[in-house]
Structure 1
Amino acid sequence: MNVQWYFDFISPFAWLQLPKVLALRERIAVEPVPILFAAVLDKLGQLGPAEIPGKRDFTYRFVLWQAARDGVPLQFPPAHPFNPLTVLRLCIAAGGGWDAVQALFAQIWQRGEAADTADSLRATAATLGIPDVGAALADAAVKQRLRENTEQALALGIFGVPTLRVGDELFWGNDATAMALDYLDDPRCFDTPEYRRIASLPEAVRRTR
């Protein structure tokens, strides 16, 4: 069964899920797929949780609480939301493998450092074998790959990050990790009358905007 992990470095929930995804890799290959979450939100006409007053404050507190509960070191970067384009492109320029993913997530969410400019990424880029950050970020092929990743995610129905795709099923968020693992263990676990019924559940009312 193919497994992909769709993520954006802007998401602290992706950092919280990362250890679980790395553990999952011990039993099955998982492909990391960086995407631009803002483009997903724009396409769907939605706001991110950090763009909604009240929800932003609660989300940040919830993230810190989950990190402490799960023993995941976490320190917020200097500002959030930030523009993740540069770090997403650098990840792709570095090959998009797990070493790059882990190093860049650690810079942002473990050490709490900025990662939204070429200068802020220079040191980590060097450890990933990229001496000229500016050239790597300007590479047309790198930009195109990020666009293709994001378009693919939208075509698959992905609406948030992080999302695990296990076979043809999507599991959104750190909280859904256990659900994804159950499906991986038994792909028939959601094949019950009630799961089938809710797949076509009618709407009794729809709000107008």
Structure 2
Amino acid sequence: MKHIDFYLDFVSPYAWLALEQLPQALDGLSYHLHFKPVLLGALLKQHGNPGPAGIEPKRDWTYRHVSWLGHRSGVGLQMPAQHPFAPLPLLRLALATSHDGCINRHVAREVLRHVWQGGLDPLDPARLQTLREGLRLQHEPESDQVKAWLRANTDEAQQRGVFGVPTWGVDGQVFWGLDALPMLRAYLLGDPWFDTCTGAAQVRNGFKA
């Protein structure tokens, strides 16, 4: 069984689409997922990347693209009333359900659905309270433990070369983005491409080649 780290931030529409498509993408494979919330803004800042929302034409395209992908896949995606937004309250709320800095799929799905379905404000206080009441919190979201887990997850992601979300880490390699799901599946199936000089070099370099 492969152990896969799934780095995600709830501000990313691609994280929502990827979560919903993962079961089909990895159908029939033996794996265990560790869902690790991270602060996307810190990952982008490390590389001087403004992100899609920081470039107006790219922002407009991204919003149109993810809406289309949600429609095409049947997952459903409506842009929230406010985007981009500061995801810290959601990240900390999710991690408040944790025992070790990871969250389960149910929590990840509930928080992502809170953001990406309905077209509402994800930070509306009344909605946040409703979301909180539907989760089984083990800690206060503003506790030192929760903040430490978020820092640790983000630091770990940075050290592994993660530069965006969603990203999956397995066997010391990283696979970034919704469109990397077929590549991740191929790796888990033992595709010999990953044993070639070209494939291995590209993987080691975080696909920068």
Q: Scaled by the length of structure 1, what TM-score is found?
A: 0.86
1:54 pairs with one of 57, 61, 65: 57
Task: For residue 129 of structure 1, report the CA deviation from its aligned partner.
Answer: 2.8
Cα shift readout 1:138-187 (whole Å, capped 9, x = no counterpart)? 11110110001000000000001000112221110000000000000006
- Structure with higher Rg: it is 1
Unpaired stretches in structure 1, ≥5 consecutive residues:
201-209
Which residue does 1:112 correspond to in 2? Answer: 119
Which residue does 1:10 correspond to in 2? Answer: 11
2:106 pairs with one of 89, 92, 99: 99
- The residue correspondences of 1:52-201 to structure 2 (distance < 5 A) are 52-95=55-98, 96-116=103-123, 118-130=125-137, 136-186=140-190, 188-195=192-199
Q: Scaled by the length of structure 2, what TM-score is found?
A: 0.86
Aligned residues: CA RMSD: 2.3
Task: For residue 99 of structure 1, report the CA deviation from its aligned partner.
Answer: 1.6
Task: For residue 188 of structure 1, report the CA deviation from its aligned partner.
Answer: 3.6
Percentage identity across paired residues of the two chains: 37
Paired with 1:22 and 1:196, the residues of 2 have a C-alpha distance of 26
Pair 25,121 (structure 1): closer, same or farther in 2 beyond 3 Å: farther
Pair 86,22 (structure 1): closer, same or farther in 2 beyond 3 Å: farther
Unpaired stretches in structure 2, ≥5 consecutive residues:
none
Residues 4 and 165 of structure 1 are in contact (CA less than 8 Å); yes or no, is this contact kept in structure 2?
A: yes
Paired with 1:180 and 1:195, the residues of 2 have a C-alpha distance of 13
